[in-house]
Amino acid sequence: MKLREFIRKPVAKIALVTLAFAPFAWLCVGIFSDRLGPNPAEYLIRSTGTWTLRFLCITLAVTPLRVISGWPEWLRFRRSLGLMTFFYASMHALCYSLIDMGWDWPEIVADVVKRPFIAVGLTSLVLLSLLASTSFNAAVRALGAQRWRRLHQTVYVIAALAVLHFYWMRSAKQNFSEVVLYGAILALLMAWRIWHAWRVNQSPPGVRL
Ligand code: HEM
């Protein structure tokens, strides 16, 4: 079956969501089989944080993929991918506040004051929850297309905060290789958007790029 035919089918979305939950399922298997190493809380926080970043990159890659391939069908996956980003970010925050900090709020507040990179992560989670709660058709209708689009451009702020959060966390260990990798991917995706918006602006009226 051709790829374009496949991505038009409802089963493609089911396959994508199933695949997107696979890392989470694998982490659950790791918890129950006690295979997460000497510090399971740290392992869980780090894996869910990395998967949040990966899903953010994949979500932001949908529009370039649609424009470059000329297949509008790719857009069918954007909302599910955005919601998966939110899911992994929520699991990441849950692993931190429940497994690592034992839901001890005074302790969490003291830790956030001591390590402000956590406050940066928290800000991106609050913004992500705003986007997740307005990702449905009813919200698009209620807000109006233009206001909805402007609100959802906050995803670029989220991407910048996510990289800052990662960079700040790693600066204690001076280990920046992955930060550079994800920072470069996100910067490239944003640069493409700016370039594409400029091209659309330059094109004669009626020509759709
Ligand atoms: C969009 C949201 C977020 C993204 C993309 C993100 C991403 C990441 C990444 C990639 C790491 C490092 C993983 C590694 O070193 O391998 C990390 C670490 C961490 N994040 Fe987040 N994060 C987000 C939100 C949050 C939130 C909301 C909290 C807490 C409420 C949080 C708390 C932490 C903590 C405590 C660590 C360090 C764990 C340690 O010391 O080992 N993050 N995050």
Q: Confirm or reject: Cβ of 154 under 6 Å from ligand 1.
A: no
Q: How far is the CA of 160 from the centre of ligand 1 (A)?
A: 14
62 SS3 class: helix
Q: How far is the CA of 4 from the centre of ligand 1 (A)?
A: 36
* 151: containing domain: 3-202
113 found inside a domain: yes
3-state secondary structure 69-131: HCCHHHHHHHHHHHHHHHHHHHHHHHHHHHHHCCCCHHHHHHHHHHCCHHHHHHHHHHHHHHH
Q: Confirm or reject: Cβ of 57 under 6 Å from ligand 1.
A: no
Q: Whose CA is nearest to atom 40 of ligand 1?
A: 42
Q: How far is the CA of 121 from the centre of ligand 1 (A)?
A: 6
- Taking the alpha carbons at both ends of the chain, their separation in whole angstroms is 28
Instruction: Domain count for the chain, please give it.
Output: 1
Q: How far apart are CA 36 and CA 42, in angstroms?
A: 9
pTM attached to this predicted model: 0.95
| φ, ψ for residue 192, nearest 5 deg | -60, -45
209 found inside a domain: no
86 found inside a domain: yes
Query: Which alpha helices (DSSP H) does 115-176 contain, by range?
Result: 117-133, 137-143, 145-152, 155-171
Q: How far apart are CA 74 and CA 166, in angstroms?
A: 29
Q: How far is the CA of 25 from the centre of ligand 1 (A)?
A: 19
207 found inside a domain: no
CA distances from 1 to 9, 16, 17, 66 (A): 11, 17, 20, 20
Q: Confirm or reject: Cβ of 78 under 6 Å from ligand 1.
A: no
Q: Confirm or reject: Cβ of 152 under 6 Å from ligand 1.
A: no
Q: What is the pLDDT of residue 203?
A: 87
27 found inside a domain: yes
Q: Confirm or reject: Cβ of 164 under 6 Å from ligand 1.
A: no
CB atoms within 10 A of CB 170: 16
84 found inside a domain: yes
208 found inside a domain: no
64 found inside a domain: yes
Q: Which ligand 1 atom sits nearest the alpha carbon of residue 100?
A: 35
Q: What is the pLDDT of residue 206?
A: 72
Q: Which of 45, 100, 158 to mutate to test the pocket of ligand 1 (most atoms within 8 A of CB)?
A: 45
Q: What is the pLDDT of residue 209?
A: 62
Q: Give per-10-residue mean pLDDT for the chain (209 aa).
A: 92 98 98 97 98 98 97 97 98 98 98 97 98 97 97 97 98 95 98 95 77
Q: What is the pLDDT of residue 7?
A: 96
